[in-house]
A and B are shown apart, each in its own frame.
Chain A
């Protein structure tokens, strides 16, 4: 029965699904990665995603333009990120806990707005799958990679861009310096506060886009708690990826591919031990831990992650 999995159609299906599923994780995780590289842990990603998802959905629904919707999600995400920056940088609040607060706020607020402004579940005409000419005709690779929606392409483009910013620009250097040794960076004239404000706000904006990728590209619908834990997994994937863009990409793909695999196993009626679909549903989570167990040895997290920095005297 397992052999059913190894047909071309199924493998293409798994890869296509996996690539699609990884999209929101990529946006959110890359954003979170910037924050963490500068020393700020933001557990509120889920709340920001929800706010972004709603903003994008509402604007797309009323204007008919998904691009305006995307813009709205960036705006709202930026605001949420800014709020998190105020909390974690200016008020120097304990980051893990304040993230939970931001999450709860976003969860409640997005639903409240949804109830007041829409009232019922609707669908929207968001980003459609966009076949890239020529490339999409390549056998196997074409349908997997080049028949996705614009948001999916954006997510994967973001990875090299993030790498470039982090390792090849002054801004990236500042981020890493601030995350490793804020006091030293400070003494060299890098403003710890400003850098962290920028990364956390950027993280918020990307979390907003991650939300939009759900509400106006992949799902084209908004419902309370639309993200349902994706934001938390996204935070976990930053650790998985060792705070590096390509690591995050690997983590997001691994997690999503395994998830796609378990969906396919069910869809093909392949027998499961004890007839327990739960065993399949656990798979991506178990595998993520297992893979990290055997690969995490050399990864070191940003030294100042989660620590509050206050200028010494």
Chain B
């Protein structure tokens, strides 16, 4: 089959594009068996899933609303991964962005919306940036691994939120009411992001898509982006090339956190219009900080790829909840199913990489052998135009073991050479 796809490159690219989708379907097939075991008709169930995600104007809007924070977080994840750092602190950064953004709106309830909304989004961006830069600084200057620090910082952010929402920031009504629900007052309705009435679709979705393009330009059209990617691909070589590795790691985590923080602000001003906590991170974030990682990976860690990927993952979440309601299966099944989808999609990537390698070998047979055997990305050599969204990039998605990559990257050139390369996790 791979031979066939290598022979017909267009089909091969289509295959690359469709692969996550196919893997999702495969996972759903396994899910069908589970549904059957629970006594639910899988056909009916999946119909409910599709209808719940796409079946009506409202369903579609809900899907996009759910996808928006995933995309924003995902953009940050793309930046971090490209720099070779795993940012699993999205949950905390989301909260760290939402808090100052909400505080701003609450503090100036009478200010004009035209000032407050952009300022609040900026607050979210900065709040997330601050929270994201902490693991960045810790990693760069104290050698504290970002996985450890982000896990810890997530919990610290949640506790901080709980304290603020049941204390200083609590809705004055709740303070006096016996129920004392830990939530802030509702923001002035004038501050709501523009909404496509009667659905819940808000302008944050558009913002996220625009930012995806911005991040794409940042990563592939600017020196800053080039440096970030170079650091991710090969820190040692980058250092020899005079790139400040530490600074770029901090920058990547800072930007990554900033986007998660922005997602938090957008969620407050677009959807919830107040902050509310049930004590856990997920209660407020909807797990966007984690799911955004998954969405980014679905999108092959490419900002533009993250757009359809978040949409599909958002649809899966919205649709699965609707499935739960229609079939009255335990919610746990949905969680398990989501897990299966993630696993299947990451596993499917191997086919994409195999195909890429076969193509490369094909190229190598014609041209020089070069570094091809070690997985230097053929497609990455092409100038980064909009056309190489997805296929060319994923074609180059084969990471090289750092040990060997270091040899290849002894000079600066190969680093540039693999500019489109997926950075493996360090």
Report if B59 contacts A (CB, 8 A). Answer: no
State A274–B169 Cα separation when bound (angstroms).
Answer: 14
State A231–B364 Cα separation when bound (angstroms).
Answer: 45
State A282–B162 Cα separation when bound (angstroms).
Answer: 11
Enumerate chain A residues within 8 angstroms of B424, measured Cβ to Cβ.
Answer: 94, 306-308
**Interface-lining segment among B65-73, B108-116, B144-152, B220-228:** B144-152
A183 touches B343 (CB 8 A): no
State A173–B142 Cα separation when bound (angstroms).
Answer: 29
Query: How many Cβ-Cβ contacts under 8 Å join chain A to chain B?
Result: 184
- In angstroms, how far is the closest chain B Cβ from the Cβ of A119? 11
Enumerate chain A residues within 8 angstroms of B336, measured Cβ to Cβ.
Answer: 104-105, 107-109, 112
State A103–B373 Cα separation when bound (angstroms).
Answer: 34
State A297–B163 Cα separation when bound (angstroms).
Answer: 33
A286 touches B156 (CB 8 A): yes
State A95–B425 Cα separation when bound (angstroms).
Answer: 8
Report if B346 contacts A (CB, 8 A). Answer: yes
- In angstroms, how far is the closest chain B Cβ from the Cβ of A252? 13
B330 touches A111 (CB 8 A): yes
A235-B340 contact in complex given A292-B144, A293-B144, A296-B144, C-beta closer than 8 Å: no
Q: Is the interface of B mostly helix, strand, loop or mixed?
A: helix
A98-B142 contact in complex given A92-B350, A285-B156, A312-B374, C-beta closer than 8 Å: no
Enumerate chain B residues within 8 angstroms of A43, measured Cβ to Cβ.
Answer: 88
Report if A216 contacts B (CB, 8 A). Answer: no
- In angstroms, how far is the closest chain B Cβ from the Cβ of A48? 12
Q: C-beta contact mask, A89-131 vs B, less than 8 Å → 1, else 0? A: 0011111111011111111111110011000000000000000
- In angstroms, how far is the closest chain A Cβ from the Cβ of B323? 13
Report if B368 contacts A (CB, 8 A). Answer: no
B347 touches A282 (CB 8 A): no
The closest CB in chain A to the CB of B341 belongs to: A101
- In angstroms, how far is the closest chain A Cβ from the Cβ of B190? 32
Q: How many residues of B contact A (CB 8 A)?
A: 54
Report if B381 contacts A (CB, 8 A). Answer: no
**Interface-lining segment among B200-208, B263-271, B400-408:** B400-408
Report if A150 contacts B (CB, 8 A). Answer: no
Q: C-beta contact mask, A33-51 vs B, less than 8 Å → 1, else 0? A: 0000000010100010000
Report if B297 contacts A (CB, 8 A). Answer: yes
In this complex, the member of B38, B160, B341, B346 whose beta carbon has the largest number of chain A beta carbons within 10 angstroms is: B346
Enumerate chain B residues within 8 angstroms of A47, measured Cβ to Cβ.
Answer: 339
A112-B332 contact in complex given A293-B142, A309-B401, C-beta closer than 8 Å: yes
B151 touches A107 (CB 8 A): no
A297 touches B402 (CB 8 A): no
Q: A235-278: which have CB < 8 Å to B?
A: 235-237, 239-240, 274, 276, 278
Residues of B within 8 A of A (CB): 34, 38, 86, 88, 138, 142-145, 147-149, 151-153, 155-156, 159-160, 162-163, 167, 290, 293-294, 297, 330, 332-343, 346-347, 349-350, 353, 373-374, 399, 401-404, 424-426
Sorted from nearest, which 8 A-B pairs have the closest CB atoms? A108-B336, A105-B339, A108-B335, A101-B342, A104-B339, A111-B332, A101-B343, A93-B346
- List 7 extra interface pairs beyond A94-B425, A101-B343, CB under 8 A: A105-B339, A112-B333, A115-B330, A285-B152, A286-B156, A293-B142, A304-B401
A-B contact pairs, 26 of them (CB 8 A): A87-B343, A87-B346, A91-B349, A93-B347, A94-B297, A96-B425, A100-B342, A104-B339, A107-B336, A108-B337, A109-B336, A115-B330, A115-B332, A236-B152, A239-B145, A239-B147, A276-B167, A285-B155, A289-B152, A292-B142, A299-B143, A303-B402, A304-B402, A306-B424, A307-B402, A307-B425
